[in-house]
A and B are shown apart, each in its own frame.
Chain A
């Protein structure tokens, strides 16, 4: 009996590495600490009522934000471990298996569990406020999306201490990801973690499309909608068409591993290249899914901080819509070197170059907006300015990679690694950070400290170039990605050391930002006006932090940049105050079902990961029961009485 338990434990828990034991201890300690604090201050009820069961888009946004920052930390630590290992030749800090696991989790976490939730955080925090809506179209579904993401992310992350991490690369190409080469649960954690959070992403896509199409304030025609909301629409269109492909691809890989199917196997009529074909049909739109909202953020920020209407509004909209569609026609450029016909390669090389055009249009529009503007260099604008050169270089190297014959040289080299980090950090991370700085006061009621933020900004920026410029060179010098070590004779030592220094500078930048948040909670400049940046769009017309119903009176929109127009009119004295008539506000009720259901999904994933079908069956029954229960719920919303609205507004310093 004892022997059995020991046996089980030695395979169930990851053992043997002191780093992991350290992590085990810190995980247990922090969990004990959380339970202790919650119990001591009697906060369990509060946690359940205010957060776990909430359907308020702003709170869901905050939870997404916290989760994504934690994931940024984990993914960042992975990156630093890799850079340490590569800092010098022949380092034996990580063994090859451990290194494989780390680059896999770094990639997966950064794209799926960091960029995606940070993007959803911004969707949730901003879109309904910009549209003049009280919530998203389906608040219950929104909560469900969040919890599916969260539990999927947890499932993926526990692989690090239980069962073993996936180690077949961030996209898990077969045959390496098949049972033969990746036995054990690691790969299953990958499949189910992404699968569960992917369902949530798909639902968010549908949710925000309907919100944007149907819930805009009266008078806000589509062409008067703020550009960030347009970018969210573009991103969500890609989500709803790309994520079903991911779902199928992962399901097929799982069937190969679990049921002995032959989709991507080397024998039995399977074809591993089909996996690449399918995963990149999702994967290419996916990179545009995360970057297009960043374009939307930059558009808002540039207009606000240059005090000018955005240049070429319609061309901006069209560029984003063209990107949304065109992104589905470029996927094969990710595997030019696998071998297919010349006509296929020609088509995808050209389509890849074409998609650069709308992006170029946008860059020019931002520049023209800034031209002769009275630019103020506050934090959001700093990140925006840093983004432009960074993204332009990233885009240019992307076009270099799209040249198919040349790609045979660059493919899977550090040139590629530098390219995609440049567009993903320079585009996505800079964009989201800019957005977080910009909308932070709206969510929390205070600004993030400028001085600490500037330290963070410069460390990030200089660190970025120090880290990745040498990697372009390393690519040309023949260093391919995923090497876990290299010899002195290769001549890569200097560049790698420089790159590692840069990575640590970015790490320091992140620490400054954490410090900045902690510092600003107490000392940050309070936002009493609700409009700290002299903004242009509706979200700045309401108090910060926004009350739970957002708008006491739904605004009537007349112009693009309606809030700006209102302020102008007030200044000119041409503004006509409309008598505001308060009405009871229709709001959704909180529900515990999303949280419970996501936990059952976790059981499904965990059960399949270890091949414990009974557990998966219990999970499925639970999921089903939750859906059934929800279907029979008819009492799902309520009205906020006028008195309460008036009281709340008064407490926020507004008289209605």
Chain B
């Protein structure tokens, strides 16, 4: 441990900052690869858009009010995760945690709405095995929902770490990455909403 004191605090701090910046770039690249992943799912959905195989269509089953509600909920949560970052930049841990919690609650209600929607669709006879269209639908929308769910767990872990350690170079980087992820999920949802739901009911 002796060597730790050898060189000043400033050096250590600097090194950390640089190190954490490196991780933000890596995470950004990961998000872009996730874009490609969703792009592939969108391509599949687009190809399967009319493959109903005589089964129910999206137009018959979609209930827009629930979807519209989810859209605004996720949009708002994207905004509140931004407010969390603002709080972090001001150095206010309490506010940061509070905004994260709000974001999390909105995210949770989004997931609940999605599960409810899936249950409704399945009760109407549209399951993964019904037709190519529904396979593509559940995979595309479900993958997004899974991302949101994982994000909720991640956020929980981050809140616990913030409580223990406050705002440091490391937690700062983690929150930055998380908010990036969360905005990205909102962006994906915008396209889901447009391509799957709006075009589906047209």
Contacts and interface: CB of A to CB of B under 8 A. Distances in A.
Instruction: Report if A and B associate in a common complex.
Output: yes
Interface of A: 137-138, 202, 206-207, 209-210, 213-215, 240-241, 243-245, 247-249, 251-252, 255-256, 259-263, 265, 267-271, 274, 278, 281, 583-584, 586, 624, 628, 631-632, 634, 639, 641-642
Contact of B40 (A207, A213, A248, A631): A248
Interface residues of B, number: 45
Given A261-B128, A271-B47, A639-B3, A249 B29 contact: no
A422 B189 CA distance: 46
A631 B4 contact: no
Interface stretch (B20-28, B85-93, B114-122): B20-28
A259 B136 CA distance: 12
B44 A248 contact: yes
Q: Which of the listed residues A259, A261, A642 has the most CB atoms from chain B within 10 Å of its own CB? A: A261
A138 B133 contact: no
Contacts of A278: 40, 43-44
Contacts of B133: 269
Instruction: Count chain B CB atoms within 10 A of each CB in A202, A249, A624, A631 and give the residue with the most.
Output: A631
Given A202-B33, A213-B25, A241-B33, A255 B128 contact: yes
B3 A261 contact: no
A535 to B, nearest CB: 28
Interface in B119-169: 128-133, 135-136, 138-139, 153-154, 157-158, 160-161, 165
B128 A206 contact: no
B129 A244 contact: no
Given A261-B138, A268-B131, 12 more contacts: A137-B26, A138-B23, A206-B29, A262-B132, A265-B132, A269-B52, A270-B132, A583-B7, A631-B158, A631-B161, A634-B170, A641-B3
A249 B53 CA distance: 22
A248 B37 contact: yes
A244 B43 CA distance: 13
28 contacts: A207-B26, A213-B25, A241-B36, A245-B36, A245-B40, A255-B139, A261-B135, A261-B138, A261-B139, A263-B44, A263-B48, A263-B135, A268-B130, A269-B131, A269-B133, A270-B132, A271-B48, A271-B51, A278-B44, A281-B40, A583-B7, A628-B153, A631-B154, A632-B160, A634-B165, A639-B3, A641-B2, A642-B3
Nearest to B29: A206
Contacts of B40: 244-245, 248-249, 278, 281
B154 to A, nearest CB: 8
B41 interface: yes
Nearest to A584: B3
A141 to B, nearest CB: 8
Nearest to A239: B33
Contacts of B43: 278
Given A241-B33, A252-B139, A137 B6 contact: no
B191 interface: no
Given A269-B131, A628-B157, A639-B3, A210 B26 contact: yes
A624 B51 CA distance: 36
The 4 closest A-B pairs by CB, nearest first: A269-B51, A269-B132, A260-B129, A261-B135
B32 interface: yes
Contacts of A267: 53
A137 B22 contact: yes
Given A269-B51, A583-B7, A214 B132 contact: no
A268 B53 contact: yes
A210 B128 contact: no
Nearest to B15: A586
Contacts of A244: 33-34, 36-37, 40
Contacts of A271: 47-48, 51, 132
A291 to B, nearest CB: 21
A210 B25 contact: yes
Nearest to B51: A269
B7 A259 contact: no
A137 B18 CA distance: 11
B72 interface: no
Most buried by B among A215, A248, A270: A248
Contacts of B170: 634
Contacts of B174: 631
Nearest to B171: A634
Nearest to A583: B7
A166 to B, nearest CB: 22
A207 to B, nearest CB: 7
Contacts of A631: 154, 157-158, 161, 174
A283 to B, nearest CB: 13
Contacts of A634: 165, 170
Contact of B51 (A215, A247, A270): A270
Contacts of B22: 137, 210, 214-215
A583 B8 CA distance: 12
B51 A262 contact: yes
Contacts of A248: 37, 40-41, 44
Nearest to A631: B157
Nearest to A243: B33
Given A252-B139, A274-B47, A138 B128 contact: no
A279 to B, nearest CB: 11
B6 A584 contact: yes
B129 A259 contact: yes
A332 B178 CA distance: 37
B1 to A, nearest CB: 9
A252 B44 contact: yes
Contacts of B2: 641
A276 to B, nearest CB: 12
A245 B43 CA distance: 11
Nearest to A585: B3
A270 B165 CA distance: 52
B186 to A, nearest CB: 20
Contacts of B154: 631
Nearest to B6: A584
A318 to B, nearest CB: 22
A393 B135 CA distance: 44
A146 to B, nearest CB: 17
A214 B25 contact: yes
Contacts of B3: 584, 639, 641-642
Nearest to A278: B40
Contacts of A639: 3-4
Contact of B33 (A240, A249, A256, A583): A240
